[in-house]
Structure 1
Amino acid sequence: MRRRTRSREIALQFLYMHDLRDDAGEQLAAFLADETKDRQVRDFSMRLIEGVKTHREEIDALLKRVAKNWEIHRMATIDRNVLRMAIFEILYCDDIPANVSINEAIELGKRFSTQNSGAFINGILDRVSKDSNGTRAGSAAPTRS
């Protein structure tokens, strides 16, 4: 499995846990240490987790705007967090092409959520991509070297 794919899986697991339990943030370092010994995987997972946490209000506002007829709290928890991660990547990670973020999010949804999640995630992220119109907010974290 590719490192960034594994990083996204780890970040999704943590964001899911954090969504269900507010105190999960205190356990981030231990969680990452338990999940992987690969520093690149750990660093990218941390970048995603911290980015989503830092920009959550903005991400959720955009999600609310593009997710017609859906309230964020009514979305499946996995889908909601897959979308948050992908939106963070689309808006803030200029080293990752938007289509890569979208494809990875679709695969995460298919793997960890419902059979309809891939299509749901694709539809939402397609609107996000069009809404952002190719502009990015800037890199929230330094790119890896």
Structure 2
Amino acid sequence: MIDALSDTTATRLISQTRLPYVRTLVTLIENHLEEIDTHIRSALDNWHLDRVSSIDRGILRIAAAELFYLDKVPPKVSIQEAILLAEAYGGSDSPRFVNGVLDAVFKDQSKDQIIPQNLTG
């Protein structure tokens, strides 16, 4: 994923102020993919993660990484931003789907009392 990010930044204009945050998210997802996916899977009702659209799956992973590992981002903000991404890039049912899954992930996280790790400094 880091290689893909490097390729993307070489061919597309990305704000230099946002790039460190994007790198942090990509690194978190790459390093904790199995754990993130486990939490997402537990929140899916009658769905398999591999059947979720790649856009929705990516949005869920980004938001879950923020929920679990970035204490600087309030959970409601992570979820709301994910819904906005789903509205912009997903299908017609994506915003509602993403909201429902992330709400369940957040409730599960709160119940498990996962301690966020601030990996950005």
TM-score by length of 2: 0.89
> Percentage identity across aligned positions?
31
Alignment equivalent of 2:110, drawn from 110, 126, 133: 133
Distance 1:48 1:35 in 2: 18
Q: Does 1:41 align with 2:18?
A: yes
CA distance in 1: counterparts of 2:12 and 2:119, whole angstroms? 22
TM-score (norm 1): 0.75
Map 1:114-125 → 2, pairs under 5 A: 114-125=91-102
Deviations 1:116-136 (A, max 9, x none): 100000000000111111734
List alignment gaps of at least 5 residues for structure 1: 1-17, 19-24
Any unmatched runs of 5+ in structure 2?
none
The alignment covers a number of residue pairs equal to: 120
Task: Pick 1 or 2: higher relative contact order, CA cutoff 8 A, min separation 6.
Answer: 2
Q: Is the 8 A contact 2:72 2:118 kept in 1?
A: no
CA RMSD, Structure 1 to Structure 2 (Å): 1.8
